Structure 1
């Protein structure tokens, strides 16, 4: 990326600053500091964040920071009195305030590409986690007020689609009365997380709230009550739960934001509208989702998650038999997944869709490492745990599958894929020969919001294995009314069980009720 301001051009990739076309020699830390300020010019960068990013958290004096800032100012023709390029916010940090200019002709192409990426990045949702407030006498548990927000920052940073402000900057705001718009002005964030910690007798309570800084509206809130005990376990459990919840709730808020100005969508807005349609799990939703993801890719071709979303939409077309040409849908899902993971191999969603494509061709062993990697990248990724549970269960690992799907439902009890999680739980009982339990979970899955006809087939099989042909026939008939081309072939195409004995038992049930 090349940034142009005044008579300067800063080439980040080449680590070169040019002023009037002449290269300016800079110490590495001075270059890094200037680059950090330029790339985050929409907000104030705090002193602690500077130290974290430039000195990697080592203890440094204020004089050392001031010296590097002074050198950066001199390099771009600024000074501490004029502050036309780098402005000091006393007690807070520094902000780049120079006017961006057109780059040289030689750099035009690089800048055009860079600006497109920058526009996508600026549209990316951003969040700051503030220190929590202490309510009453919390005694030895006071550390939770800072420790839990720090844990949350670490967990939220695993979400590649969310920009998370570093602790050094967000922890400057310690007042309970700080207004969201003030945080937005200082840090340039769209969302802010606040909370409080209270000890009441033998219990500790933690309240967490997420607000939209542009409207001060509450996006999501939750109250956690736990017995006093091992504080580290309490912190870890709550941080995982909050991070998983925000993965869903902020995405919903972003879709609502995009709907408020549908005629002027940037890549991220189109992406979030695509996600909202994707979770309808029907033909029309899949088609509209694909169109939104293609719209996002058109605006930003290097947008990895938009390619991943497009793979997800084509997966639905093939898996739920929406697509007129299933082979073509599988190929589109595969190509989009390959593009996504090539653009961002560390995004859990990109790894998830790559693993899901392997399902479509029955390559469960090929799916396993991609889904395991998605969980490694984000241990709070409920949909990753669900997908891995499904794969392992079909491979015959029922106990492992049950632990994973239970963890997924605990992390995200209102997940759009909850119906599928419940269905996996039914499959784990089928695998273990626990037919009564399988019928209970299969029934719950088929009655859950967004459950599609294939899930009703699972309910039919579960009841049939349990000897209740009346319920089995009812669910089988319901599935056929919604999608007449379903049957034994479609069931095993969607759910390629590796256990031959289980396949035989299911096939016998389908033969018996498909009359």
Structure 2
């Protein structure tokens, strides 16, 4: 079924609005709002009903509702004065008042076969976004797990584990999580992804199978992009029956960390396939993240451009300011700019603005904490980073940054504990080289130079490692008497950063342990730094 009004056609199954045969690009929330109003055009739709249908019951301000209604009106040629399509019932809600007729939908299969749909743009049927285009904050629906061969006493885990996952994912400010009350209603239809994605308008679906093979518990997880039906990520975790509690905690932590990597990567991939001029704030943000973790001058500059575009699209976008704090931090920390002091001030300024806009975002608190590394105030940094990991106990990079901070003040047990947590949460993290590098730096302070050299080698050979990590490897190997290996790392440092100096090293790692600083300084001097 397709609805027609004026020059417009809206196909709810294909999630597309078109005018005179040409697609109209809208954010998913705006299109969901429009669909809900037309579907319920026989009565007034209250604001509470809109919040349930479009925002899935999450807390939302009247200003946000008004903004989405205004965008919907603009898309269909209406305005707040004329109100010939969407009428406001003051203080109560909204009603779709334009005359609507139903017409047969364009057959998606024939359109895709000819390479045309709605004016030449291929549109995937039942897509969570028109033509698979990215837009808006990513959303996810976590379905109850399918039970296979479960004993009755353990069958409840098929609901309990997804519930715990929903609670954990709800801490992520960048991901919209559909409430259990909606997702669990589709228990019997969970295998029909078309039906589920249409009913919930979720961009991603997390499904699972739980079973009891050979006196153990096994959980298979699968993350699907609803627009393309591609499996973005999948994994299987197994534990003995006696370790069910540990398995439940492990599933939640493992999943949160995996989604922190795989969904942004997928969002950035889709955004790069789209017209850059048509990208919204979130799409630009995800492309920026893709550049952010490459730690080169060129990629840091590109990330900055993406975050600035995101802010032009949405000046109140807290995460874009946090992204700019991150790029400014890299400019100062890696000395990518001749004016490191100015970059440090920009890092603090953007972190402060991000916190003003969303004080509960772990990423904003993380970037704020790291700005205090640049001003040699590790105690203040530790407080902000502790807040970040309290807001999201599965925040691997928050624990890594905590380990770095503890290393600066020589707190070895706290350093190693935070590193172990971060590696457990995210064994393939983009900052993996940093985790290994911090461990090596702490081992240098403990004068365990053999172990330090081993960890430093692992750090410096990890993809993405920057020149400062190679300097740790040089110093650790030199102190361990492995001078041939130290010489190889010297060559790599000079290749990555020809003007690198010992001053760069100590500016990045301002440790309080004077004895280890003296040993490292002597070793760097031996190799010409």
Deviates more, 1:144-153 or 1:499-508: 499-508
SS in 2 for 1:335: helix
Native 8 Å contact 1:446 1:456 kept in 2:
yes
Q: Distance in 2 between matches of 1:456 and 1:100?
A: 66
Number of residue pairs matched by the alignment: 420
SS in 2 for 1:391: helix
Alignment of 1:237-276 (within 5 A): 237-263=250-276, 264-276=278-290
SS in 2 for 1:484: coil
1:203-249: per-residue Cα shift (whole Å, max 9, x none)?
A: 21100011011111111111001111142222111111101111111
Native 8 Å contact 1:469 1:513 kept in 2:
no
State the shift of 1:505 in Å: 1.8
1:163 aligns with 2:176: yes
Alignment CA distance shift 1:167-1:317 (3 Å): same
State the shift of 1:138 in Å: 3.5
Q: Distance in 2 between matches of 1:455 and 1:137?
A: 49
SS in 2 for 1:123: coil
State the shift of 1:98 in Å: 3.5
Q: Distance in 1 between matches of 2:295 and 2:500?
A: 16
Alignment of 1:353-392 (within 5 A): 353-392=367-406
1:493 aligns with 2:490: no
Deviates more, 1:155-164 or 1:252-261: 252-261
Native 8 Å contact 1:41 1:97 kept in 2:
no
SS in 2 for 1:173: helix
The correspondence for 1:98, drawn from 95, 98, 103, is 95
Q: Distance in 2 between matches of 1:230 and 1:446?
A: 36
The correspondence for 1:328, drawn from 342, 358, 376, is 342
Listed as ranges, the gaps of 5+ residues in structure 1 are: 1-30, 54-83, 86-95, 102-120
Q: Distance in 2 between matches of 1:403 and 1:350?
A: 23
SS in 1 for 2:283: helix
Alignment CA distance shift 1:324-1:179 (3 Å): farther
Q: Distance in 2 between matches of 1:341 and 1:244?
A: 23
The correspondence for 1:457, drawn from 448, 454, 471, is 471
Q: Distance in 2 between matches of 1:35 and 1:385?
A: 40
Native 8 Å contact 1:181 1:214 kept in 2:
no
State the shift of 1:42 in Å: 3.7
Counterpart residue number, 1:178: 191
Q: Distance in 1 between matches of 2:192 and 2:372?
A: 48
1:223 aligns with 2:236: yes
Counterpart residue number, 1:443: 457
1:124 aligns with 2:137: yes
1:382-409: per-residue Cα shift (whole Å, max 9, x none)?
A: 0000001011011111111111111111
Q: Distance in 2 between matches of 1:466 and 1:500?
A: 19
The correspondence for 1:145, drawn from 148, 155, 158, is 158
Q: Distance in 2 between matches of 1:225 and 1:236?
A: 12
State the shift of 1:305 in Å: 0.3
Counterpart residue number, 1:402: 416
Alignment CA distance shift 1:262-1:387 (3 Å): farther
Counterpart residue number, 2:48: 36
SS in 2 for 1:451: coil
Deviates more, 1:176-185 or 1:457-466: 176-185
State the shift of 1:122 in Å: 7.3
Q: Distance in 1 between matches of 2:475 and 2:152?
A: 55
Q: Distance in 1 between matches of 2:396 and 2:223?
A: 20
Q: Distance in 2 between matches of 1:383 and 1:97?
A: 43
Deviates more, 1:166-175 or 1:380-389: 166-175
Q: Distance in 1 between matches of 2:304 and 2:97?
A: 36
1:280-308: per-residue Cα shift (whole Å, max 9, x none)?
A: 11011000000000000011011000000
Counterpart residue number, 2:214: 201
Q: Distance in 2 between matches of 1:100 and 1:41?
A: 19
1:464-486: per-residue Cα shift (whole Å, max 9, x none)?
A: 12121221122122102211221
SS in 2 for 1:414: coil
Deviating runs (4+, > 6 A) in structure 1? none
Alignment of 1:413-432 (within 5 A): 413-432=427-446
With structure 2 as the length reference, what TM-score do the two structures score? 0.76
Alignment CA distance shift 1:442-1:239 (3 Å): same
The correspondence for 1:136, drawn from 149, 155, 159, is 149
Native 8 Å contact 2:135 2:279 kept in 1:
no
Q: Distance in 2 between matches of 1:400 and 1:177?
A: 44
1:98-143: per-residue Cα shift (whole Å, max 9, x none)?
A: 3399xxxxxxxxxxxxxxxxxxx97111001000011123342212
Native 8 Å contact 1:423 1:445 kept in 2:
yes
Q: Distance in 2 between matches of 1:207 and 1:97?
A: 43
Listed as ranges, the gaps of 5+ residues in structure 2 are: 1-43, 61-85, 88-92, 99-133
Q: Distance in 2 between matches of 1:36 and 1:308?
A: 32
Native 8 Å contact 1:138 1:198 kept in 2:
no
